[in-house]
């Protein structure tokens, strides 16, 4: 599948039975990929299965942050792994060849090369702007997006991304923009998600 567009990561308020309505709102708003990020641990299996079913209803893959076992238990489409979450190869063995597995690369091309060699389906870099979710995260330069294009994997940018600053990331080489507060921190979640979509249409027009 082609990975391009808005990549929405859930906030804590999503990780409740009532929070599934928030997830549905971003799907209606045009999210292309969803990651279930529920800290310190995910809700029960029934919640996860309902979230995965929502994704299938909209034709949008649903991934699980960090927890490959939970991804397997709820029938998610894959997982997203950070530096302390095990290897991509191990996740592939457990989730199967069709699973979508992404990896956080922070600002490191060296890690990105390693994750590519392990078989990651996409590479995520950031943060690029001040982030409400991870204010302590090390900043990443735009140049890392451009350099990572040579690795031949879809590129995800994350960290403080808003509709008015995302264009620079796409121009530098990102395929997807990952957001949390940019949608869930807004009063109208569906409208907030939808406000990112013109960024991708503009990029498509400039390439044609």
Which residues are known to be catalytic? 37, 104, 134
- Rounded to whole angstroms, the Cα distance separating 123 from 102 reads 6
- Rounded to whole angstroms, the Cα distance separating 74 from 192 reads 28
- Rounded to whole angstroms, the Cα distance separating 105 from 140 reads 10
- Rounded to whole angstroms, the Cα distance separating 78 from 63 reads 5
Comparing CA positions, the residue from 122, 136, 126, 13 lying closest to residue 78 is 122
* Helix ranges, 29-136 (H): 45-58, 68-74, 88-95, 109-118
In degrees and rounded to multiples of 5, residue 181 shows phi and psi of -65, -25
Beta bridge partners of 8: 34, 179
Write out the two tokens for 149: 């294009």
């Amino acid at each position: 599948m082609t990975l391009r567009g808005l990549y929405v990561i859930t906030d804590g308020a999503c990780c409740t039975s009532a929070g599934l309505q928030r997830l549905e709102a971003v799907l209606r708003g045009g999210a292309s990929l969803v990651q279930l990020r529920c800290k310190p641990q995910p809700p029960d299996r029934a919640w996860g299965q309902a979230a995965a079913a929502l994704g299938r209803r909209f034709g949008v893959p649903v991934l699980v942050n960090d927890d490959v076992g939970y991804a397997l238990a709820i029938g998610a489409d894959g997982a997203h792994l950070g530096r302390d979450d095990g290897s991509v190869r191990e996740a592939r063995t457990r989730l199967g060849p069709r699973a979508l597995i992404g990896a956080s690369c922070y600002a490191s091309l060296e890690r990105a090369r390693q994750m590519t060699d392990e078989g990651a389906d996409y590479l995520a870099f950031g943060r690029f702007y001040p982030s409400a979710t991870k204010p302590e995260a090390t900043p990443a330069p735009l140049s890392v997006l451009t350099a990572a294009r040579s690795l031949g994997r879809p590129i995800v940018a994350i960290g403080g991304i808003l509709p008015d600053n995302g264009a620079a990331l796409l121009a530098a080489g990102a395929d997807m923009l990952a957001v949390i507060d940019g949608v869930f921190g807004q009063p109208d979640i569906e409208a907030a998600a939808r406000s990112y979509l013109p960024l991708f249409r503009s990029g498509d027009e400039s390439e044609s």
